[in-house]
């Protein structure tokens, strides 16, 4: 049995990397679901390889398009959204010739361009789903709504991923309009990242503008302002925002009846002056200059707030989108401050799937031994397909209850609440308790409102006996804290509501209590349903909870609840934060390697595995086979030993997540932490074994995974200390607020990544990744050494002072901007002066000197001999002052400088052509 359990458990770990495409549908059930999900009759539906398209109609007047159940437009008011999206950016650019649309496959953006901007010569639309763009072109209703815009001769349709297109295309556009779905999954979140917006910036003409829809302003303010901050980081010289009066990013918003208060962000390479904007579009239905003034104003309750930048390596936007509310508190969905309305509606909307499961249960109430054995195995496919396959099973309920609670929780979260909620009514009380343990706590504090979606699913659809059992077995303190946080309870005064009670107080079902429900209608509705159903099924429990509201101290209840939660989570390897922080205690890898080579390392002892391999809730879908540490663990021949090491890995990952402040249920942040942890372990293992595969298996049998992790992390921490030393030397910047202005963008990205609390690696300015290989470490160390040498050359060999460099960078006669004054431009200027036989250092070149430089670059006299021979004077003059071994760095830098000069300036004919070479050498007028 142990051998079989080990095999199955390892299968759980690796199952998430299998690809599958099993999707079951039923026409009758689809139609029933449509009736519950959509208020109006469905006139068209199609499941494409990318999404589900649904169109509804109300009396032939209001046609609405839904993608995956989310409304995309209403034909009654779509013009408000699309006029705000299109006319604002188009009015800012004179003589627009080329427009890029990302998304917008319904053709409504093109409709605005077709009707109002005849001067546009080229329109490129990039939309992932070819069926969407085909329907927009061929479906009679869509053609009528978009005015046949897809037939426009200027339009080129590209069915591709937006990120891929902007990475691959060489075209530049006057206006880029981004009309993508909200960032409700990781794939879409990347299209709202600073890396993506930097690509967009590169695809703009110098005076071009871009605009993007940016989600609901009122219901999702954190998401909206995170998008705003992210675009600022891409378009402003300083990632912290645009300094001074220069405004490169302008937010605006407008009211759309179908959507609510919807936001947009507009950006340009050039400073923007919204106070001077005029919006005069003949025949526009909605927008004008007066309306634009209102669009640009943000009331206090939706004003700018402190939020993080969304990055590929740190996708915070997805977390904001899922968990922020208008008050900034953490809830299940930002479109519903209580998190209940959304959850309850999703339960109702997907009642079809639940009823289907009830029918299957009648045919297979007896759980088979196979289900018990394979309870931890999930079907193939993406999360939604997995849920569909589960709900189609004859033994669906038994199968759900057999799943480990953390696996079920992860499946629900990854599929999205509107899909995963169907599983909740069939979960066991132990699973429900774990959902609350994972999702409703922040550090050591319970956030009662985060329980409400889970309880809403139970109160709506769980059978009586299942609901009663769950409410009885969930921690009483947790339920009491929910009631206490939402209700005010008083005894009735001789059958009457007490005079001092608020006006909205009502009597309990038995007339014993006066209850004041919360003002939030959704929360109030849920609490009423909970109390009514408890009175119907378990009056004693209802009395107990209402009395707890009157008498129990919330602090004492939370203390007991935390104690029970901590005890349960210890079974998953979660420990106290203080204990977890020990994983980041430095362990110098060379000492560890020396200890191993001296055979002083005792064979590691690991805790025996339990009944199941209790992985962190984020772990099974992220632990890919190509991670070095996973490959080595999978090579352990003894299955019991292999299972034990995976158990050790599980406990270690949990500690790392706790040390980094990640709650057990935070999937998105947890993914990043886990990948980074696996990378650190791979890095440590590569280092101590010197990259020799035949030693990796042996070493891992003798050294704990924690020590391997600590060694890998310490390697990156040593690089971080080198960065700190570089920052303490004269300087790495001439611009306040920009820490690395003297570096090129690739090296600046490297130092930024290494300066993070947990260091990461930047191969270049646009490629950020975790540390996981020795070659990354070597590359980073080499680049840091080169930066140190550049500092030495400027401040040591040339003896320049920081004040002198600042004066040069801000000199009015300098054609370069201060940000163009870098170690590299200074050095290339110095090399340029050597080429024109002048020896006065790094003074900016005038037009005559540039002309002489162009001649020298065309002649390439240095290619007739080695660099050291041709520039012997420079090498001999500096040689005595170069520290040992740095002459090779000097020669390498010299060769790179010549290569850049030739590539950037070598083909120019006249000195005046070099006016725009400010990032190559220093120039003066």
Mean model confidence pLDDT for the chain: 82
CA-CA distance, 376 to 7, in Å (whole number)?
Answer: 12
The pLDDT of residue 376 is 46
- What confidence category does residue 516 fall into, taking pLDDT thresholds of 50, 70 and 90? very high
Q: Name the residue among 407, 338, 413, 416 with its Cα closest to residue 379.
A: 407
Count the alpha carbons within 13 Å of 904 in the hemisphere toward its beta carbon: 19
Asked whether residue 103 carries a pLDDT value surpassing 90, the answer given is yes
Q: Which residues have CB under 8 Å from 436's CB, separation 6+?
A: 451, 454, 474, 475, 478
The neighbouring-strand residues paired with 58 are 62
In the 8-state DSSP scheme, what is residue 368? Answer: P
Asked whether residue 11 carries a pLDDT value surpassing 90, the answer given is no
3-state DSSP call for residue 815?
coil
Region 273-301: mean pLDDT is 91
Q: Name the residue among 818, 835, 644 with its Cα closest to residue 733.
A: 818
In the 8-state DSSP scheme, what is residue 65? Answer: E
CA 197 remoteness from chain centre: 14
**8/699: higher pLDDT:** 699
Region 143-161: mean pLDDT is 94
Helices (H), 689-822: 693-702, 705-728, 745-754, 774-791, 802-809
Q: Name the residue among 448, 435, 438 with its Cα closest to residue 527.
A: 448
Residue pLDDT, tens place only, 16-73: 333 232 223 344 445 544 554 566 788 888 899 988 899 988 876 789 998 887 788 9
Cβ burial 371-404 (10 Å sphere, 16+ → b, else e): beeebbbbbebebbbbbbbbbbbbbbbbbbbbbb
- What confidence category does residue 624 fall into, taking pLDDT thresholds of 50, 70 and 90? low
Region 211-232: mean pLDDT is 92
Return the percentage of the chain with pLDDT > 70, whole number: 84
CA-CA distance, 899 to 891, in Å (whole number)?
Answer: 12
Q: Name the residue among 767, 624, 601, 751 with its Cα closest to residue 688.
A: 601
CA-CA distance, 616 to 674, in Å (whole number)?
Answer: 9
Q: What phi and psi values does residue 122 have, to the nearest 5 degrees?
A: -140, 130
Q: Name the residue among 57, 81, 266 with its Cα closest to residue 142.
A: 57
Domains located in the chain, CATH noted: 94-323 (3.40.50.150), 341-570 (no CATH), 802-916 (no CATH)
Residue pLDDT, tens place only, 797-824: 888 999 989 998 999 999 999 999 999 9
Pairing of β 488-491 and β 513-516: antiparallel
Residue pLDDT, tens place only, 700-745: 878 889 999 999 999 999 999 999 999 888 889 999 889 999 999 9
- 758 φψ region: left (φ > 0), alpha (ψ -120 to 50), beta (else): beta
CA-CA distance, 786 to 771, in Å (whole number)?
Answer: 20
Among candidate residues 179, 261, 336, 538, the one labeled active-site is 179
The pLDDT of residue 669 is 65
- What confidence category does residue 89 fall into, taking pLDDT thresholds of 50, 70 and 90? very high
Contact 69, 253 (CB under 8 A): no
Asked whether residue 281 carries a pLDDT value surpassing 50, the answer given is yes
In the 8-state DSSP scheme, what is residue 795? Answer: I
Look up residue 578 and give its two tokens: 């203080």
Region 410-427: mean pLDDT is 91
CA 168 remoteness from chain centre: 23
3-state DSSP call for residue 324?
strand
The pLDDT of residue 600 is 54
Q: Name the residue among 476, 287, 381, 458 with its Cα closest to residue 22.
A: 381
Region 430-446: mean pLDDT is 89
3-state DSSP call for residue 633?
helix
Residue pLDDT, tens place only, 537-589: 988 788 878 888 887 788 888 888 888 887 787 766 667 667 778 888 888 88
Among 226-240, 642-656, 660-674, 794-808, whose mean pLDDT is lowest? 660-674
The pLDDT of residue 90 is 95
Asked whether residue 759 carries a pLDDT value surpassing 80, the answer given is yes
The pLDDT of residue 359 is 41
Residue that the structure tokens 């009662």 belong to: 448
* Active site (annotated) includes residue 179: yes
CA-CA distance, 324 to 220, in Å (whole number)?
Answer: 7
Contact 270, 294 (CB under 8 A): no
Residue pLDDT, tens place only, 877-893: 787 888 877 888 888 99
The CA-based angle 8-11-14, given to 5 degrees, is 165
Contact 87, 281 (CB under 8 A): yes
The pLDDT of residue 508 is 92
Return the percentage of the chain with pLDDT > 90, whole number: 44
The pLDDT of residue 61 is 78
The pLDDT of residue 314 is 67
The pLDDT of residue 611 is 44
CA-CA distance, 58 to 421, in Å (whole number)?
Answer: 29
Sheet strand arrangement including 173-179: 155-158, 122-126, 98-103, 173-179, 204-216, 260-268, 249-256
Residue pLDDT, tens place only, 23-32: 233 444 455 4
Region 754-783: mean pLDDT is 92
Contact 51, 371 (CB under 8 A): no
CA-CA distance, 447 to 565, in Å (whole number)?
Answer: 14
The pLDDT of residue 567 is 76
Pairing of β 249-256 and β 441-442: unpaired
The pLDDT of residue 670 is 72
Asked whether residue 524 carries a pLDDT value surpassing 60, the answer given is yes
Look up residue 170 and give its two tokens: 């060489």
Contact 383, 415 (CB under 8 A): yes
Element (H, E) at 230: helix 221-235
The pLDDT of residue 865 is 86
Look up residue 344 and give its two tokens: 């309850």
Pairing of β 70-74 and β 98-103: unpaired
Q: Name the residue among 197, 201, 178 with its Cα closest to residue 86.
A: 178
In the 8-state DSSP scheme, what is residue 177? Answer: E
- What confidence category does residue 646 fall into, taking pLDDT thresholds of 50, 70 and 90? confident
């Amino acid at each position: 049995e142990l051998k079989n359990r080990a095999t199955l458990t390892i299968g759980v770990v690796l199952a998430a990397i299998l690809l599958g495409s099993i999707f079951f549908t039923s026409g009758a059930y689809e139609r029933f679901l449509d009736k519950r999900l959509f208020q109006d009759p469905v006139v068209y539906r199609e499941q494409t390889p990318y999404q589900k398209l649904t169109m509804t109609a109300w009396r032939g007047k209001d046609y609405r398009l839904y993608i995956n159940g989310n409304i995309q437009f209403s034909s009654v008011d779509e013009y408000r959204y699309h006029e705000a999206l299109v006319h604002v950016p188009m009015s800012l650019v004179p003589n627009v010739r080329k427009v890029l649309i990302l998304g917008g496959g319904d053709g409504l953006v093109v409709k605005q361009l077709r009707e109002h901007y005849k001067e546009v010569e080229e329109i490129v639309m990039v939309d992932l789903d070819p069926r969407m763009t085909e329907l927009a072109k061929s479906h009679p209703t869509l053609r009528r709504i978009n005015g046949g815009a897809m037939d426009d001769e200027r339009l080129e349709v590209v069915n591709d991923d937006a990120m891929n297109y902007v990475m691959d295309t060489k075209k530049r556009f006057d206006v880029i309009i981004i009309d993508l779905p909200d960032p409700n999954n990781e794939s879409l979140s990347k299209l709202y990242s600073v890396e993506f917006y930097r690509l967009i910036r590169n695809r703009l003409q110098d005076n071009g503008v871009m605009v993007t829809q940016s989600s609901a302003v009122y219901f999702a303010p954190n998401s909206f302002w995170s998008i705003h901050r992210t675009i600022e980081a891409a378009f402003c010289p300083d990632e912290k925002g645009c300094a001074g009066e220069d405004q490169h990013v302008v937010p605006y918003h407008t009211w759309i009846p179908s959507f609510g208060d919807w936001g947009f962000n507009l950006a340009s390479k050039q400073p923007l002056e919204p106070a001077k904007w005029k919006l005069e579009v003949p025949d526009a239905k909605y927008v004008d200059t007066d309306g634009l003034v209102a669009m640009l104003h943000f009331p206090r309750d939706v004003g700018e707030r402190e939020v993080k930048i969304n990055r590929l390596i740190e996708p915070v936007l997805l977390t904001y989108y899922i968990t922020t509310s208008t008050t900034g508190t953490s809830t299940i969905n930002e479109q519903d401050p209580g998190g209940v309305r959304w959850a309850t509606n999703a339960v109702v909307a997907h009642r079809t799937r639940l009823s289907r499961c009830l029918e299957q249960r009648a045919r297979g109430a007896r759980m088979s031994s196979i289900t018990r054995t394979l309870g931890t195995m999930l079907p193939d496919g993406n999360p939604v397909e997995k849920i569909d396959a589960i709900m189609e099973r004859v033994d669906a309920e038994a199968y759900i209850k057999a799943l480990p609670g953390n696996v079920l929780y992860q499946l629900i979260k990854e599929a999205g609440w509107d899909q995963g909620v169907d599983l909740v009514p069939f979960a066991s009380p132990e699973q429900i308790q774990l959902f609350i343990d994972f999702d409703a706590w922040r550090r050591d504090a319970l956030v009662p409102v985060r329980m409400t979606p889970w309880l809403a699913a139970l109160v709506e659809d769980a059978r009586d006996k299942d609901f009663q059992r769950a409410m009885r077995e969930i921690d009483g303190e947790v339920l009491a804290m929910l009631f206490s946080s939402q209700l005010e309870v008083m005894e009735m005064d001789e059958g009457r509501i007490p005079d001092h009670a608020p006006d909205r107080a009502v009597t309990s079902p038995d007339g014993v209590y006066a209850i004041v429900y919360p003002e939030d209608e959704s929360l109030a509705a849920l609490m009423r349903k909970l109390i009514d159903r408890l009175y119907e099924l378990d009056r004693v429990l209802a009395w107990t909870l209402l009395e707890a509201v009157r008498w129990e101290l919330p602090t004492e209840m939370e203390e007991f609840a935390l104690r029970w939660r901590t005890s349960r989570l210890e079974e998953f390897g979660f420990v106290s934060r203080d204990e977890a922080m020990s994983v980041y205690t430095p362990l110098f890898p060379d000492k560890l390697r020396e200890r191993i080579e001296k055979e002083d390392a005792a064979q590691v002892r690991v805790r025996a595995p339990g009944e199941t391999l209790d992985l962190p809730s984020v772990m099974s879908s992220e632990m890919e086979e190509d991670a070095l540490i996973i490959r080595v663990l999978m090579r352990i021949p003894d299955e019991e030993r292999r299972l034990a090491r995976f158990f050790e890995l599980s406990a270690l990952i949990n500690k790392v997540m706790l040390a980094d402040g990640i709650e057990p249920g935070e999937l998105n942040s947890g993914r990043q932490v886990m990948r980074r942890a696996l990378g650190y372990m791979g890095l440590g293992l590569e280092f101590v074994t010197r990259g020799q595969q035949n030693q990796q298996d042996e070493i891992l049998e003798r050294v704990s995974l924690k020590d391997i992790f600590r060694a890998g992390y310490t390697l990156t921490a040593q690089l971080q200390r080198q960065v700190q030393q570089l920052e303490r030397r004269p300087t790495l910047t001439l611009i306040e607020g920009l820490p690395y202005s003297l570096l090129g963008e690739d090296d600046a990205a490297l130092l930024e990544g290494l300066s993070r609390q947990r260091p990461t690696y930047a191969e270049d300015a646009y490629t950020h990744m975790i540390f996981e290989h020795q070659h990354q470490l070597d590359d980073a160390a080499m680049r840091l050494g080169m930066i140190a040498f550049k500092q030495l050359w400027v401040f040591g060999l040339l003896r320049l002072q920081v004040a002198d460099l600042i004066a040069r960078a801000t000199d009015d006669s300098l054609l370069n901007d201060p940000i163009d004054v870098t170690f590299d431009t200074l050095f290339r200027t110095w090399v340029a002066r050597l080429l024109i036989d002048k020896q006065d250092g790094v003074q900016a070149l005038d037009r005559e000197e540039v002309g002489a430089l162009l001649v020298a670059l065309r002649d390439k006299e240095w290619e007739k001999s080695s660099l050291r021979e041709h520039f012997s004077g420079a090498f001999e003059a500096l040689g005595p002052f170069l520290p040992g071994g740095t002459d090779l760095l000097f020669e390498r830098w010299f060769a790179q400088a010549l290569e850049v000069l030739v590539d950037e300036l070598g083909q120019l004919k006249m000195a005046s052509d070099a006016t725009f070479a400010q990032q190559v050498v220093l120039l003066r007028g």
